[in-house]
Chains A and B, each alone.
Chain A
């Protein structure tokens, strides 16, 4: 029995890969049932993403908020907190960055752009810290408060845009000052005007930060200890409440940055939203796909971004409704979560290897 278990843990990386393949397979079956051509659909999906430089650049642009919201949700999970509120934190961060980008004029770009980015991260973090504070001090379930804070953040963001930043007669804010833009101009040229920005680089730094902070620092150790067992952590002298607030703050910073980059790097303005763009909920999926590991989140965001960006090509090239991608993503997460099913499917292969080992 022990040997059996060892084989499974040795092959831990096989499960996610198998889950992705099985998810794509489920998507193919659904397409066949619907009377579509799955091979044409998947090939047009990948052509859409990798077909030319512009689309490839735009796909990278699409992945960036997924990396950051995925990190936000995963970071909170590490402390045993379910941050379902990345959506609101993202919108608040976005609004703060837009505000700074429009109202703080006359600054040189090397001060203005970082200031706007920092404002986005800071406000996203503070928004999340409220949830952490209520959890730590009042024992309120963070799921319920973060759902509530999503709505408050949504209306709050619309309020600020509507009353302070709006171009009259439209549903969007003024453009941010050029000094606040974080577009990478020399790269946008190469990528056929795809909206590439420094935020992607910062997102990659955030991945490394996540890893170093959690596994190489004392503070990160405390966060993980709280996540594994808050009572034991408390007995060991770790201040559980302070760690909860701090974790939520950092989680919110990730989400806030994601929002800031969408304005400073991509759109240059903020819309009055009719409904939330939903990046925070995408972040939950990405975190789960990435198994709450920073590098896993990065890979998951790449997969997630590829699928969502490519879905347009799929509907254009093979007439498949783009919603199919959500079925594929759902199926992949399902297989990653219910690893027992994957192992069952892979069973014959494991059996073979086991025999080899015995011999």
Chain B
């Protein structure tokens, strides 16, 4: 494989990874605060839908290059609104968090397709977005061999994802807010005793997961599919959950895991370039990332430790 394809492979890897990075970061905020978020898939659906519709109308209104950013903002808003359903049910009404997360997945797939058919006269798919994100080459840096083509000639969302990994890490481990968020997920009654508003922190955690998963979904419509349909989001949310657990609820770990999954998606597009791949059934090649994940988890990484109070509704009267 020559250098050019290596750069392309890296670039495609990042295209696939970006949505997973956003969503996994969102999952970290929610689960670090003690709320399981199996609804990430649905929140991505909300985001993908919101961005597809908003970007389409923005581009029709002649907003040009601004359109995809309006799409991202719409995705954030609808993602947060969707996550509020989860928050109200699981935090305020102390519903089982797995159940209310599953509810999000149902409501998201149902309501978005319902709305698409309503808005676009019975069509099962939103109209094509022409003003999606374009790749943006960073001056000078994009001239570096391999890495320049691979990393510094990406979609704006990819750069945003990189920034957010750093921001999330900083917020979680270097700010009082992050300390409180983690405390609420580990030992809510102790945090409460020290004056941390447990329920409020959990609301914030879940809403941040809605915003980030919304951006994750938007990334897919605005950089990959250019439209929203029933199969735009098909399992990426669950992969993001896997990336979060794989990365041990740490932003840097989740980032690594998301890139790993993105790489395994990208390799499919390039694997035909290798001579040895001709003799292997393609189904086996598609399986590699999933099998590898299991092997890595079983071998090197070992037990992953979830936040201690993950999944438990906080009830001050039981303190």
- Please name the residue on chain B nearest to A27 by beta carbon: B110
**A239 at the binding interface (Cβ < 8 Å):** no
Q: Say which one of B54-62, B169-177, B241-249 lies at the interface with A.
A: B241-249
Q: Are B94 and A340 neighbours in the complex by a CB distance under 8 Å? A: yes
**B163 at the binding interface (Cβ < 8 Å):** no
A343 vs chain B, min Cβ distance (A): 9
Contact of A338 among B88, B104, B284 (CB under 8 A): B88
Contact of B241 among A143, A151, A321 (CB under 8 A): A143
A-B contacts, CB under 8 A, total: 143
Q: Are B293 and A138 neighbours in the complex by a CB distance under 8 Å? A: no
Contacts of B298 in A (CB 8 A): 134, 138, 140
> Complex formed: what's the CA distance from A163 to B280 in Å?
12
B36 vs chain A, min Cβ distance (A): 9
Contact of A337 among B95, B122, B284, B290 (CB under 8 A): B95
Contact of A163 among B281, B302, B306 (CB under 8 A): B281
Contact of A145 among B109, B231, B294 (CB under 8 A): B294
Q: Are B287 and A327 neighbours in the complex by a CB distance under 8 Å? A: no
Q: Are B106 and A155 neighbours in the complex by a CB distance under 8 Å? A: no
Q: Are A156 and B283 neighbours in the complex by a CB distance under 8 Å? A: yes
Contact of A148 among B92, B103, B294 (CB under 8 A): B294
Q: Are B102 and A34 neighbours in the complex by a CB distance under 8 Å? A: no
**B28 at the binding interface (Cβ < 8 Å):** no
Q: Are B94 and A156 neighbours in the complex by a CB distance under 8 Å? A: no
**A284 at the binding interface (Cβ < 8 Å):** yes
Chain B 229-254 interface residues, beta-carbon cutoff 8 Å to A? 231, 234-235, 238-239, 241-242, 245-246
Contacts of B113 in A (CB 8 A): 321, 323
Chain B 286-319 interface residues, beta-carbon cutoff 8 Å to A? 286-287, 290-291, 293-294, 297-298, 302-304, 306
> Complex formed: what's the CA distance from A334 to B97 in Å?
11
Q: Are B281 and A331 neighbours in the complex by a CB distance under 8 Å? A: no
Q: Are B109 and A151 neighbours in the complex by a CB distance under 8 Å? A: no
> Complex formed: what's the CA distance from A328 to B100 in Å?
14
Contact of B302 among A82, A139, A144 (CB under 8 A): A139
Q: Are B110 and A159 neighbours in the complex by a CB distance under 8 Å? A: no
Among B94, B102, B105, B284, which residue has the most Cβ atoms of chain A within 10 A?
Answer: B102
- Main secondary structure, interface of A, reads helix
Contacts of B99 in A (CB 8 A): 288, 333, 336-337
> Complex formed: what's the CA distance from A341 to B100 in Å?
13
> Complex formed: what's the CA distance from A328 to B286 in Å?
35
**A190 at the binding interface (Cβ < 8 Å):** no
**B4 at the binding interface (Cβ < 8 Å):** no
> Complex formed: what's the CA distance from A258 to B69 in Å?
45
B194 vs chain A, min Cβ distance (A): 27
- Main secondary structure, interface of B, reads helix
Q: Are B245 and A143 neighbours in the complex by a CB distance under 8 Å? A: yes
Contacts of A284 in B (CB 8 A): 102
Q: Are A285 and B297 neighbours in the complex by a CB distance under 8 Å? A: no
Contacts of A334 in B (CB 8 A): 85, 89, 95, 100, 103, 107
Q: Are B103 and A147 neighbours in the complex by a CB distance under 8 Å? A: no
> Complex formed: what's the CA distance from A10 to B106 in Å?
30
Contacts of A140 in B (CB 8 A): 294, 297-298, 303-304
Contacts of B246 in A (CB 8 A): 144
**B134 at the binding interface (Cβ < 8 Å):** no
- Please name the residue on chain B nearest to A327 by beta carbon: B110
**A206 at the binding interface (Cβ < 8 Å):** no
A15 vs chain B, min Cβ distance (A): 12
Contact of A155 among B96, B234, B241, B283 (CB under 8 A): B283
- Please name the residue on chain A nearest to B234 by beta carbon: A275
**A229 at the binding interface (Cβ < 8 Å):** no
Q: Are B304 and A141 neighbours in the complex by a CB distance under 8 Å? A: yes
Q: Are A138 and B118 neighbours in the complex by a CB distance under 8 Å? A: no
> Complex formed: what's the CA distance from A337 to B86 in Å?
11
Q: Are A152 and B291 neighbours in the complex by a CB distance under 8 Å? A: yes
Q: Which residues of B contact A (CB under 8 A)?
A: 38, 85, 88-90, 92-96, 98-100, 102-107, 109-111, 113-114, 117-118, 122, 231, 234-235, 238-239, 241-242, 245-246, 281, 283-284, 286-287, 290-291, 293-294, 297-298, 302-304, 306
Interface contacts beyond A34-B114, A143-B38, A158-B283: sample of 10 additional A-B pairs, CB < 8 Å, sorted by A: A138-B297, A138-B302, A152-B290, A156-B283, A284-B102, A323-B111, A323-B117, A326-B106, A330-B103, A340-B92
The 4 closest A-B pairs by CB, nearest first: A326-B110, A330-B106, A159-B283, A337-B95
